[in-house]
Amino acid sequence: MFNPRSGAGDQAQSHARVAAVLEAAARPHRFVAIERPEAIGELARTLGERACDSDGMVVAAGGDGTINAVVQGLIGSGCRFGVLPMGTFNYFARNHRIPLEPEGAARILITGAVRPVQVGTVNHRVFLVNASLGLYPRLLEQREQAKRQFGRSRLVALLSALFSLLVERGRLRLQLHVEGIRDDVETSTLFVGNNRLQLDQVGLVEAASIDHGLLAALHLKPVDRIGLLALAFRGSLGLLGEADEVTSFAFREMTVSKPPSHLRRRRSPRIKVATDGETGAMTMPLHFAISPDPLFLMIPPPAADAACAQFDDG
């Protein structure tokens, strides 16, 4: 399954390179375009059933958002899952040492090993990299607007993020319920991570907790625009976790709600939530947890993974 709108490269050329590898190994395959994003879950479930019946696998070709949408429909099926990274940041693929070039990623589909991978959930919506509310979803929406206007690149994403920080407005008042403890916070953003690579890059000590069946959360103390820019700079240096304005912790389950108001609401409040780069409204309270069903991901075989680790250490 591939998203025609993912990445900035030549998809036709990438598909031809992937097809050449699969054909050389006599592996039957079919490229299925995601024409209607709103129907991607149903399409993934249908393809997953066919793949399981034929001892095959479902492969997502695209960025983290595309991978997330396919997994949303595939999780719980027990079907093997492969990734051809064709996005801007490719955090999920990079975290699992899946090559970014098409031929290398295609070879993993043939020679790789299967690893159960942890999947996070927020109100039954899956996330593989992160989920967030507040400033981060607004930043992502601004980034998508910039990409449509100026093209998909990391530079465009960076400049868009800086602009969003400069015009940041509004704070959230939230109640966090974690393992029987309640914490009332006022913050511009609440971020929940499920990707060790991303958390390591910004310098959170909780990054290692992802390998032990936990999620990692952070929220910011109230700061002005200059303070937000300073925190963004610290994050780019991998020093965010050392900032006094940042509160971070690891957890298994967390419920996020609005503080009780003296005014009765006829309806539960809704809030914008981003999951792996895609935003949508959810009804509070929000419940963050680990899915009981892992994702059976194709990763580099142990020998190749060890070689990569040795090369990185050297």
The string of pLDDT tens digits covering residues 21-51 is 999 999 999 999 887 877 888 899 999 999 9
**DSSP characters for 252-297?**
S-EEEEPPP-SSPPSS--EEEEEETTEEEEEESSEEEEE-SSPEEE
The pLDDT value given to residue 311? 40
Name all domains of the chain by residue range, CATH numbers in brackets.
11-119+293-313 (3.40.50.10330), 126-290 (2.60.200.40)
The pLDDT value given to residue 9? 55
Give the residue from 131, 138, 152, 118 showing the smallest Cα distance to 9. 152
DSSP state of 122: E
pLDDT digits (tens, 9 = 90+) for 151-189: 555 554 554 555 455 555 578 999 999 989 999 999 989
List Cβ neighbours of 8 (8 Å cut-off, separation of 6 or more): 88, 151, 152, 153
Rounded to two decimals, the pTM is: 0.84
How far is 263 from 148, CA to CA, in rounded Å? 41
How far is 173 from 256, CA to CA, in rounded Å? 10
List Cβ neighbours of 164 (8 Å cut-off, separation of 6 or more): 135, 138, 139, 142, 143
**Predicted confidence (pLDDT) at residue 265 exceeds the cutoff of 70:** no
Cβ(110)–Cβ(82) under 8 Å?
no
The pLDDT value given to residue 152? 55
Look-up: residue for tokens 């066919």?
50
Of the listed ranges 36-50, 81-95, 138-152, 265-279, the one predicted with least confidence: 138-152
